[in-house]
Amino acid sequence: MNSVFITGGTSGIGLELAKIYLSKGWKVGVCGRDKEKFHQNFEAKRDNIHFYPVDVADREALKAAILNFSKPTGLSLLVASAGMSYPHKSKIPDFERTYRMVHVNLLGLMYAFEAALEIMIPQGSGQLVGISSLAGFNGFPGISGYSATKSGVIKFCETLSMDLKPLGIHVGCVCPGFIDTPLTKNNHHPMPFLMSAHKAGMIIYRSIERKKHLTVFPFFFGVLVRVLAILPRFIYRRVMGTKAINYSKENQKEISK
């Protein structure tokens, strides 16, 4: 039986993926800290879904959850979607929140991959997918910590996609633009090309099926961000310094008061 463990599978992108895999008859495991979110979304379809109330920043607890879920069926796919961002962009980093983001967005993903590999390496097969962001392609103003964690995810996945291939393990990375989920509902800036979580879930599902190494969407936003990534950095800094694009501007005003 095919099985997937999704960190952060109780809300937003992870939730959409969990629903899709359930509808395809997979055994699905999800983790999150808030049990209520799980009950709200999965009460009616309990048979094939397993919930683990785990913080992904807790390496041992996450490992225990993934190992428990994988018995005795093994593990076909792990999607590391659990993540956090800041609703308020700031020029001066909120360091406490930044450290927490490193723990959740980057280390949490590594802990999940580490545990999954304990099963997939002896199995000789499996698929690991990291949910990064378009914010990982450049250092974007106001979101230094978020950009850093998501950039780390892209590079971590890229390296593993080569290193783990001989072991039969496929690694992919997904970089969405703005998706309409609880994560973005408190954003106070424009969100170009905002996409529904359902549509994003379908795009990610198809990219996992096709074993894509890197999935970037929405298309035009992705092209724009990747063009920014290849610009000479002095031009990039000029472009990002313009008021229309620099999302940290409101906060700059607050700081200068």
Ligand X SMILES: NC(=O)c1ccc[n+]([C@@H]2O[C@H](COP(=O)([O-])OP(=O)(O)OC[C@H]3O[C@@H](n4cnc5c(N)ncnc54)[C@H](OP(=O)(O)O)[C@@H]3O)[C@@H](O)[C@H]2O)c1
Q: Which is nearer to ligand X, 83 or 145 (CB)?
A: 83
State how far Cα 238 lies from the chain centre: 29
Closest separation in Å from C-beta 128 to ligand X: 14
- Two tokens, residue 102: 């490193």
Nearest-10 crossing angle of helices 144-163, 108-123: 10
Q: What is the maximum span of the chain, computed from C-alpha positions, in angstroms?
A: 60
Q: Which stretch binds ligand X (CB under 6 A): 12-20, 120-128, 219-227, 237-245?
A: 12-20
3-state secondary structure (DSSP) of residue 183? coil
Q: Which is nearer to ligand X, 120 or 183 (CB)?
A: 183
> Which residue from 4, 5, 13, 120 is in contact with ligand X, where contact means CB under 6 A?
13
> Which residue from 2, 48, 184, 252 is in contact with ligand X, where contact means CB under 6 A?
184
Closest separation in Å from C-beta 221 to ligand X: 10
Q: Which is nearer to ligand X, 26 or 52 (CB)?
A: 52
- Two tokens, residue 217: 């969407």
> Which residue from 3, 4, 5, 8 is in contact with ligand X, where contact means CB under 6 A?
8
Residues numbered 109 to 168 that lie near ligand X (CB under 6 A) are 131, 133
Residue 221 to residue 26: CA distance in whole angstroms: 32
Residue 73 to residue 28: CA distance in whole angstroms: 11
98-136 core/surface letters (b: 16 or more CB in 10 A; e: else): beebbbbbbbbbbbbbebbbebbeebeebbbbbbbbbbb
Nearest by Cα to 9 from 25, 44, 33: 33
Q: Which is nearer to ligand X, 139 or 167 (CB)?
A: 139
Report whether 106 contacts 152 (CB < 8 A): yes
Q: Which stretch binds ligand X (CB under 6 A): 89-97, 173-181, 220-228, 243-251?
A: 173-181
Q: Which is nearer to ligand X, 123 or 184 (CB)?
A: 184
Q: Which is nearer to ligand X, 125 or 196 (CB)?
A: 196
> Which residue from 2, 57, 193, 236 is in contact with ligand X, where contact means CB under 6 A?
57
Q: Interface residues with ligand X (CB under 6 A)? A: 7-8, 10-14, 31-34, 37, 55-57, 81-85, 104-105, 131, 133, 176, 178-179, 181-184
